[in-house]
Amino acid sequence: MHISDGLFDGVFGRGAVDTSDRAWLQAMLDTEAALARALEEAGMAAPGAGAAVTDAAQVSAFDAAELGRQAALTGNPVPALVRELSRMLPPGAAAAVHQGATSQDIIDTAAMLLAKQAMAVVTADLAGAAAAAARLAAAHRDTVMIGRTLLQQAVPVTFGLVAAGWLTGLDEARAALARVAATRLAVQFGGAAGTLAPLGGNGPEIAALLAAELGLPAPTLPWHTDRLRVTEIGGACAGVTGVLGKIARDVTLLAQSEVGEVRAGGDAGGRGGSSAMPHKRNPVAAIAVLGCTRQVPGLLATLAAAAEHEQQRAAGAWHAEWEPFSDLLRLTGSAASWGAELLTGLEADPARMRDNLDAAGGFPMAEHVASILTPALGRVAAHDLLAQASARAVAEGRTLRDVLLDSPDAARLAEAGVTAGQVDEALDPAGYLGAAGDFVDAALGAHRGAEQADSARVATSPGAATAERPHR
């Protein structure tokens, strides 16, 4: 597992997604090398030029910081990169460097390469998280707990249903990410104004060869000022982090000391410890997920705001994409990595769930009791009776059952033909779960179907699910 060495990268740069300066630079070099190979294949570069450029295009041979300083002269680092790469090559090979391209071609294509790698990594982590959620859903299909709406106790659910909700979200986010990865990544190659004029009539051929070299689709035409691909990648990442953030927030709430229905975080290595309170075991993975996911909407908003690119090449809007796009991929990767750990190590406490449910004094079952009174009293009268009984039980510190079976409500229940046994049955949470079990089964069935579809896709496209860099 890759964790970079920045002060905050242990939290925000966790996992194998790499959008570091070195990763960007290598992706740009990969693009330049692939272009040289494409030109040679088309007969527009000297024999051996492609191999020579590829051999030279290694990030270890370049000073990213110096290229960054040189970027201040031209507005982006590509011109300095091209000069340095060309300087390392004999004249015949140097002539193939950047031929027909513009700086935006190199950076946009590098962005697509980084996105391809990031999406493969995130997809794998989501698969791990989904597998863990599926295990929780199956193991706790019938584990009764209180459901909560607007942060207040509502009616009973099962922890299996909660986990099934997480599972479905993860599977759907993974499918959405896979759709974007399969259909919306594309090489960028259009030259100065999208015509590839320096290549004469060979431009489309070179573009297709470049795409094949990099393992990226060839678009219908250059997309310099059509930024839909960028925003769709951002939107898919935002969907992933939205799902992960929901799971993490649920866990932080369920893991509160006063609730204690799940346990997350804390291990022999010291994870979960507090700098001030030795007794604490904080849900670090959930907290880290939320730290990542809270930043994503702002980054997506920046990409959306920058999508208006004027005429054939934008002044500033394109530049505004680089850092938020990179940060969005990095944070999505980190959140997915943390999310897989969170769910894999999550432990449920069915006894505590039942204790919390019983401690509610039967109030969550008021809706069910009202349903057995409705045939005799009518819906409104039954609702009002239970509302009044609940209020009195709260005021007197009694259970709903005690109040209902005490006067004056007992008399009204008797008039309605409702017995004490029926009240007890109606107050049993296990009898008021509706289709919870069926929904869990459906979610698990859909998950198995998604796994089978993934396996079939990998079998028919052997490299589609890998996160390897293109050939160098």
Which of the residues are catalytic?
A: 274, 313
Q: Which of 210, 240, 191 is nearest to 113 (CA)?
A: 210
What are the backbone dihedrals phi and psi of residue 455, each rounded to the nearest 5 degrees, phi first? -65, -40
Q: Do the Cβ atoms of 76 and 103 come closer than 8 Å? A: yes
Rounded distance between C-alpha atoms, residue 363 and residue 466, angstroms: 52
Question: How is residue 285 written in tokens?
Answer: 């993975």
Unique residue bearing structure tokens 């005429």: 311
Instruction: Give the Cα separation of 26 and 85 in Å (integer).
Output: 12
In angstroms, the CA 24 to CA 152 distance is 47
Rounded to 5 degrees, what angle do the CA atoms 308, 311, 315 make? 65
Alpha carbons 186 and 67: distance in angstroms, whole number:
26
Question: Do residues 36 and 51 touch, judged by C-beta distance below 8 A?
Answer: no
**Inter-axis angle of helices 284-293 and 317-344, to 10 degrees?**
160
Q: Which sign, positive or negative, has the C-alpha torsion 158, 164, 165, 166?
A: positive
Which residues are CB-neighbours of 388 under 8 A, at least 6 positions away? none
Please state, in angstroms and as integers, the Cα–Cα distance from residue 132 to each residue in 70, 136, 247, 266, following that order. 48, 6, 12, 18
CA separation for the pair 52, 347 (Å, rounded): 55
Residue with tokens 């969907």: 239
Other Cβ atoms less than 10 A from the Cβ of 471: the count is: 12
d(CA 152, CA 146): 10
Task: Let me know if 128 is exposed, middle or buried by CB neighbors in 10 A (0-12, 13-18, 19+).
Answer: middle
Q: What contacts 24+ positions apart, CB below 8 Å, involve 388-395? A: 390/363, 390/366, 393/361, 393/363, 394/363
Query: 99 and 191 in contact (C-beta within 8 Å)?
Result: no
Residue positions counted in the chain: 472
